[in-house]
Structure 1
Amino acid sequence: MTNSIIKSLSLPAPEEIEVAIRGQRALATYLSTRLETQKIAIQDADNNTHQIELPTSALTLLMTILGELAAGNAVQIVPVHAELTTQEAANILNVSRPHLVKLLEDGALPFHKTGRHRRVLFADLMKFKDQRDTNSQKAMQELSDLSQEIGLY
């Protein structure tokens, strides 16, 4: 992805949070996950109603987005095939850029070069992050089990 994906994120205003809460509740009331597509109606600035057919998967994603906005979180959609800079990838993993570069160079995370610049696919980064989180949870569980075993807990 040539443009930065993590720029200009801002938290929703209180009014946006309230609208997101109402919107999520209303959408949840009528959303049917048994259908591939569904029709919704929107009103333009002149109060004219227009019916639009959308994939149910898009409406489900919209429910998730509204839920995050309702919780006061900023939201950004990233295509899974997006290419991230090392800084963007480091930000997502909450690590320093030099640490991420070391992960890349050690082969822990696949990357390719565009000219002299390293790029990481978003899908690969999420796969790495999920595996890292799974390993972390497993290690914490093992520590907890060990502490119970030796009577520290």
Structure 2
Amino acid sequence: MQAYEQLPTAQEAALAKLCSQELAAVIETKLDVQSLALSSPDGQLKQVEIPVSALRLMVNILTELGEGNTVKLVPIHAELTTQEAADLLNVSRPTLIKLLDEGALPFHRTGNRRKVRFNDLRRYQSQLEAQRLLALDELTQLDQELGLGY
């Protein structure tokens, strides 16, 4: 899947923000498919049927661009290189390799290259998030017991 590799300009970000708001306002969430009208370069109006799930994704993408962020779409069944996986986890490639070697994150080999399934990466991220929330709950409980007032 192609990525939007560079940061949006201020003008692009402003337009994306406006578009995300306008699109979000017209999405009919009770439908599976929604019809949109687009004008072609020659000015003709073209009616297009789009899955509402795709429209929601477009709103998310436009929102991110509107905040000045880059966007990369990764298909759910994608196999990532170690560098791509490291980038998505926001860790260095050597740190990711260590996680793979320790068995913290499953992988398989394609030739001499390691590949990480996107689903496995998301599962690992969810586990990390759950562990962080548990630790935060424990710290909060300890603060309460010690009367630290947090």
TM-score for the superposition, normalised by structure 1: 0.89
- Answer with 115-124 or 93-102: which moved more: 93-102
Aligned to 2:49: 53
The reply to whether residue 18 of structure 1 matches residue 14 of structure 2 is yes
Whichever residue aligns with residue 100 of structure 2, its letter is L
The reply to whether residue 132 of structure 1 matches residue 148 of structure 2 is no
Aligned to 2:39: 43
1: CA distance, partners of 2:142 / 2:105: 31
1: CA distance, partners of 2:92 / 2:67: 28
Identity of aligned residues (%): 46
CA offset digits 1:73-122 (Å, max 9, x no partner): 11111101111111111111122222211211222111100011110011
Report matched runs for 1:2-151 at 5 Å: 9-151=5-147
2: CA distance, partners of 1:144 / 1:138: 10
Cα-Cα RMSD:
1.7
Gaps of 5+ in 2: none
- Answer with 122-131 or 138-147: which moved more: 138-147
1:146: how far off?
A: 1.0
| Residue-pair matches, total | 149
TM-score for the superposition, normalised by structure 2: 0.90
2: CA distance, partners of 1:48 / 1:65: 26
2: CA distance, partners of 1:96 / 1:22: 35
2: CA distance, partners of 1:105 / 1:70: 39
